Amino acid sequence: MATVYEALDLRTERVRALKLLQPSLVSNDVHRRRFTREATVTAKVASDHVVDILDAGIDEASGSPFLVMPLLAGRDLAAEIEVRGALDAPTVLSYLTQIARALDRAHEARIVHRDLKPANVFIAERDDGSTQVMVLDFGIAKLIDRVSTRATEAILGSPLYLAPEQVRYKKERVTERADIYALGQLAYTALVGEAYYAPEDEASDGVMGLLMEMAVGETEPASARARARRSVELPEAIDAWFARATARDPSARFDSASEAVIAFAGVFELPVPEFRNARPVTTTPSTEPQEVIAEAELSEPPPPPARRSWRAALGVAGTAVVVVAAFWTVGARSAGREEQPSATDSAVRAAPSSP
């Protein structure tokens, strides 16, 4: 859907991350609204673990929307797992704790992320060598509403981390507990080195086949599958934790992300992390009118009066830029593909990458 480039703000000389919508999607109203929604939704989540949107607008030459964010040094959790394999429990707890802090703040703002997965969790490196976990890509996030709109929406999110209610054909509210499900699946992936439903994914003939297999639910305890597939030994207590976090019935899951993480610490007998203002999040419909963001109701915000000029430093190392999807380039090589410069070149000028 988009590509994120390392870029230089010509006004401040600060290096930033510049996110551009794929050119083939610029004329698609749904994708444009989903892309620009990220800026407004992210602004509602006050958390150290959500990436700030510094600027947003429409490139006047190409008509493409763009977002400007701080440039993070590090790599996403998917890459971390690919390089390191299964992670130890204390590391996973540290990551989950920071993810839960972001989710708690989002849920308090009545926002459901709906696409939590390893690729949307970034492990940023601080100057002191410590790590800061950031939750990325609120582009398909949705405000929780009293009225179900599930039947009118396309299936959004990554199949291996989708909660059952996100893919059922009957009308059903998708609440913050969909993110709790994804958090449980993400925890298993980090602990084991592959997703719980990796075997079903390998055996399926496509996304719909995988979703049908996942609809059945767990076919074996998490610890047994981890041992059989990856020779990873997990305490048997993880089975009850995973079953609750990923229960088919949303009401049977943990009440909040922080509650799930506190219970996770107990499974491994690790120190319980602290959460500021942690409290369960109810799924009871509110009696007060709530703002709704539905696909058919989104309106594109007007372009800002001022336009930013950017010169892109493309072709940089993968650890220095968050690559959402390498669909295109602007006059340079990016993630193994090379294409002709687009009309966006008037707003983004290619520059040599750092050695």
Q: CA of 119: how far to CAs of 116, 134, 268, 304, in Å?
A: 8, 11, 25, 30
Catalytic residue among 59, 104, 115, 137: 115
55 is catalytic: no
* b/e 312-321 (16+ beta carbons within 10 angstroms → b): bbbbbeeebb
Tokens of 193: 């080195």
Tokens of 155: 């299936």
SS3 state at 7: strand
Tokens of 168: 């059922």
Q: CA of 172: how far to CAs of 145, 164, 177, 214, in Å?
A: 11, 10, 12, 17
Paired with 19 in beta bridges are 4, 67
Q: 57: closest CA among 330, 317, 305?
A: 305
CA distance 101 to 105: 6
Q: How many residues make up the chain in this entry? A: 355
* Residues assigned a catalytic role: 115
